[in-house]
């Protein structure tokens, strides 16, 4: 049976997928190898209690509190690794799985040339959310926060452009308004901070901005949920997206609690409930 060569649209789609997966692999691998250094560099980890051995303890000593101190130290190291390294690493991986969850639907849109039941509004929200978190991660010098959002911008652009090309004129106008609103809000925050006009420090400004845009991103599928309740048809809901989103939020909630950062913990706790 002769096999026809893939169309140019399919080739472009596969190239975009390979680029996204390459960025995902590079970011996760590089930060996994640097995990111990990152967890020590991160100043926020100092919020966790670190236990030390008593000065009088000798290697192999089991008298007094030495053995207990060693056990406590091992427990503290294990807790620090789990909360300060393992939790954000899993959050990085699950975050990118969440970003890739709508990919089959987007590829179907590109093949058919019709938007169908796909809701395009979460994708401009994805771009704005990732940009805000990259800014916050750079301000607090936490690469665990910055890393997963870099592939998210590329993936969000691919989704938005694909939906825009297949959408009717009215939906295209909605996509443009949504993207323009995000761009204006982010540009206003960056401009105010650069010009020294912001009434709060940079960490607070970008933290509140990232929280606001993240909550909008989590709430953007609610329009689809309202339609599901009204029509009693769940075909437009993506269970992989909801499941990966809930697990992702739980890991980031744990990490935010570990580093005592409410800007990370609070919105992800809300996101876990919404998902």
pLDDT tens, position by position, 10-49: 455 455 445 444 544 444 444 444 444 444 444 444 444 4
State pTM to two decimals.
Answer: 0.67
What residues have CB less than 8 Å from 152, skipping those under 6 apart?
Answer: 95, 96, 99, 126, 127, 129, 130
C-alpha span between 154 and 52 (Å, rounded): 44
**Mean per-residue pLDDT, 87-102:** 82
Give residue 100's pLDDT band: very low, low, confident or very high (50, 70, 90): confident
Give the N- to C-terminal CA distance of the chain in Å, as an integer.
45
Those residues with Cβ within 8 angstroms of residue 66's Cβ, 6 or more apart along the chain or in another chain: 53, 54, 56, 57, 58
Quote the CA–CA distance of 271 and 275 in Å, as a whole number.
6
Percent of the residues in the chain that have a pLDDT greater than 70, as a whole number: 61
Q: How many CA atoms lie within 13 A of 85 on its CB side?
A: 17
Give the span between the Cα atoms of 234 and 15, in whole angstroms.
31
For 214-249, the pLDDT digits (tens) are 888 777 666 566 666 676 665 555 666 667 677 878
Banded model confidence at residue 253, pLDDT cuts 50, 70, 90: confident
Lookup result for tokens 């910055």: 146
**Three-class SS of residue 193?**
helix
* Range scoring the smallest mean pLDDT among 98-102, 144-148, 235-239, 257-261: 235-239
């Amino acid at each position: 049976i002769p096999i026809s060569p893939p169309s140019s649209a399919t080739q472009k789609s596969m190239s975009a997928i390979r680029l996204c997966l390459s960025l995902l692999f590079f970011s996760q691998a590089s930060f996994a190898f640097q995990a111990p250094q990152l967890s020590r560099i991160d100043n926020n980890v100092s919020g966790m209690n670190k236990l030390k051995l008593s000065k009088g303890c000798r290697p192999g000593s089991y008298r007094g509190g030495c053995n207990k101190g060693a056990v406590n130290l091992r427990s503290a190291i294990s807790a620090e690794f789990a909360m300060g390294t393992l939790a954000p690493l899993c959050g990085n991986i699950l975050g990118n799985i969440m970003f890739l969850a709508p990919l089959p639907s987007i590829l179907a849109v590109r093949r058919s040339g019709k938007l169908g039941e796909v809701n395009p509004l979460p994708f401009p929200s994805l771009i704005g959310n990732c940009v805000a978190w990259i800014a916050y991660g750079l301000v607090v010098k936490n690469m665990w926060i910055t890393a997963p959002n870099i592939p998210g911008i590329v993936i969000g652009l691919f989704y938005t452009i694909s939906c825009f090309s297949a959408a009717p004129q009215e939906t295209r106008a909605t996509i443009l308004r949504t993207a323009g609103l995000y761009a204006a809000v982010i540009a206003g925050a960056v401009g105010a901070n650069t010009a020294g006009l912001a009434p709060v420090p940079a960490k607070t400004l970008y933290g509140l901005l990232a929280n606001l845009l993240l909550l909008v991103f989590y709430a953007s599928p609610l329009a689809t949920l309202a339609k599901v309740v009204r029509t009693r048809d769940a075909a437009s809901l993506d269970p992989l997206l909801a499941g990966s989103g809930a697990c992702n939020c739980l890991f980031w909630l744990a990490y935010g609690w570990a580093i005592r950062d409410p800007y990370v913990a609070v919105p992800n706790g809300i996101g876990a409930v919404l998902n």
